[in-house]
Amino acid sequence: MRFTGQRQRILAHNVANLTTPNHQSKDVSPQGFQELLGEAIARRRKSSSIVGGTMPMRGSREVRVGKSGSMSLVPQRGTGLGGVLLHDRNDRDVERLMQSMTENYGMYRVASDLMRARVGELRTAISQRIA
């Protein structure tokens, strides 16, 4: 959810600057993040037979991971119109930007649904223990 929230800010910045001369759109790769997350999950599964535990992610050019587990995104210049600049030296591509925002919303929705399910399981377990 942190990834999609930070990516949404990047995409919103691109939308806000659609008509700004010389603006070069930026983005981060969802596929790159998913690969990093998949590798972290695989490492945790190999290192521990216990469900849960720590899941340290390694960083990349676009994803910086702090020692405390914090994550920040470093957006790279997007492809925009495939490197073609418009008359105002802007590389806006509204269709691609809307597609990225829709894709990001879908990823957020999946993550929030999974989290909601886990919280529901915890609430059920806690309420049964108290009763």
CA distance 104 to 18: 19
Among all chains, which residue has been given the structure tokens 């190999």?
A: 46
Tell me, what's the pLDDT at 121? 92
Residue 22 confidence (pLDDT): 83
Give the H/E segment covering residue 69.
none
Q: Can you tell me the distance from the alpha carbon of 50 to that of 66, in angstroms, rounded to the nearest whole number? A: 24
Q: Are 39 and 105 in contact (CB under 8 A)?
A: no
pLDDT tens track, the chain, 131 positions: 999 999 999 999 998 988 888 888 899 999 999 999 999 988 888 886 666 667 888 999 999 998 888 899 999 886 554 556 666 667 777 888 899 999 999 999 999 999 999 999 999 988 887 65
DSSP, res 84: -
- Residue 86 confidence (pLDDT): 67
Q: What is the pLDDT of residue 25?
A: 86
Tell me the CA distances in angstroms from 103 to 13, 79, 98, 110, 126, one per residue in order: 16, 17, 9, 11, 35
pTM over 0.85: no
In whole angstroms, give the CA distance from residue 20 to residue 47: 49
